[in-house]
Amino acid sequence: MTQDSTTACRDLIKAIDAKTVQIAIMGLGYVGLPLAVSFAMKGYKTTGFDVDPKKVAALNNSESYIKTIPETLISGMVNTGNFKATTDFSKLADMDAILLCVPTPLGENRDPDMSYVIGTTESVAEHIRPGQIVILESTTYPGTTTDVMRPILEKGGLKSGTDFFLAYSPEREDPGRQDFNTSTTPKVVSGDGADALMVADRLYRTIVETVVPVSSTDTAEAVKLTENIFRSVNIALVNELKLIFDGMGIDVWEVIDAAKTKPFGFMPFYPGPGLGGHCIPIDPFYLSWKAKQVGLEARFIELAGEVNTAMPKHVVDTTLSAIKEKTGKAPNQARVLLLGVAYKKNVDDTRESPSLELIELLENQNVAVDFYDPFVPTIPNLRRPGDLSGRASIEWSHDRLKEYDAALISTDHDNVDYQSLVDHCAIVVDTRNATRDCSSPNNNIVRA
């Protein structure tokens, strides 16, 4: 460590402690906006950067576009002067800490799409100055921070660890969760060198109760992938068990409920129509791709991906078989109501939702499909093939429910009257066990 880097490190820590540090959040989505709120509500001057002028205008007008973040929070931090949003990336030169919260999707061949990370890092590189810290929060493969970001940031002649600091701290947001939030969820932190780690650690301790430092950015990147791979593999396991138990006439939900009474050695996971959200359907393939780069195979990860990606087709096949058996209708004669397009219950987040694939698979067989979602009145613009954006949820009514040959429950929002659904729909295909407490005199509930 040089004297210059030591001095810059001390200066940044002093600014953090004095709350004079200027914080930039790049990307104001489901990760970036909660992070911006956390810093601003603690009294830190925070600037949100986004390429979407509609988001920027909404936030500056104290409007929230994420249901889990109330407008009272937005107006509070805007009115105090602790937060503003902008599309002007030249203002990055005025910032002290720059946090990147941008998407890391998959390409067509399930390889990492680093275009958002690279493009945003290039924007930072245009305005980087000595004494700043740049932190990536996006989920990615080991080596991204040092092998992808660092060379871009150093192109202008400044050096990481000497002139500026570079760190990685993976996001752990879970939209809609009530028991944990940004502040109470432990934060893994790493740095490209000891000074970078020290600054990042001090910065996050201002908003997070527990900080977990690790030895390298590669390790921190691997931590995040491990968390999501753990879920992906276990969800694939219960999805496969569901298919096996169905063939044996055994209710997998009853099995899981009984198994989870064991106080040790078991953790419940639940089957579903496929994986949703930005993390679990995508992140495991970042590691399997990286493994191939070093001549290794991630067989469990690939197998789990195959099982989970096959679930939407299984659900569609089950739905169409049930319609054919009960009504005699072919797919091109059938009408299906999909319940829920959000990827999980009680949120408005549609990222990688299996519901979207269910709609496409059904419509590929000429089925007429509508949807109902109390949290998603209109499907937003999506970074995926197919053009479902702009489609609107139907209005809930008993008469409307009777129009459909089948209702397909893909997302089990709490504020849906499932008994009414069972009472007024000829067939209810349930992928989430949402109808477990419903009476069905007509025996019209199908588990899928």
- Alpha-carbon distance of 304 to 168, in angstroms, equals 27
- Are 434 and 348 in the same domain? yes
Residues 377 and 435 both lie in one domain:
yes
Verify that 206 and 246 share a domain, yes or no.
no
Asked, for residue 232, whether it belongs to a domain, the answer is no
Q: Which among 9, 101, 279, 425 is annotated as catalytic? A: 279
User: What interhelical angle do 53-60 and 71-79 show, nearest 10?
Assistant: 80
Residue 226 lies in a domain: no
How many other C-beta atoms lie within 10 A of the C-beta of residue 392?
12
Annotation marks residue 279 as catalytic: yes
Assigned domain for 230 exists: no
What does the pLDDT look like over 213-245, one tens digit per residue?
999 999 999 999 999 999 999 999 999 999 999
Dist CA 240 CA 217 (whole Å): 35
Distance CA(342)–CA(354), nearest Å, equals: 9
188 and 134, same domain (yes or no)? yes
Asked whether residue 247 falls in the same domain as residue 110, the answer is no
Per DSSP bridges, beta strands 97-100 and 335-339 are unpaired
* CATH code of the domain in which 414 resides: 3.40.50.720
- The confidence score (pLDDT) of residue 386 equals 64
Q: What tens digit of pLDDT does each residue of 117-138 get?
A: 999 999 999 999 999 999 999 9
Question: Do 309 and 434 belong to one domain?
Answer: yes
Residue-wise pLDDT tens digits, 51-105 = 999 999 999 999 999 888 999 999 999 999 999 999 999 999 999 999 999 999 9
Domain residue limits at 120: 3-215
Number of domains in the chain: 2
**Same domain as 296, residue 158:** no
Please indicate, yes or no, if residue 49 is contained in any of the structural domains.
yes
Q: Is residue 153 over pLDDT 50?
A: yes
Query: Does 225 reside within a domain?
Result: no
pTM: 0.91
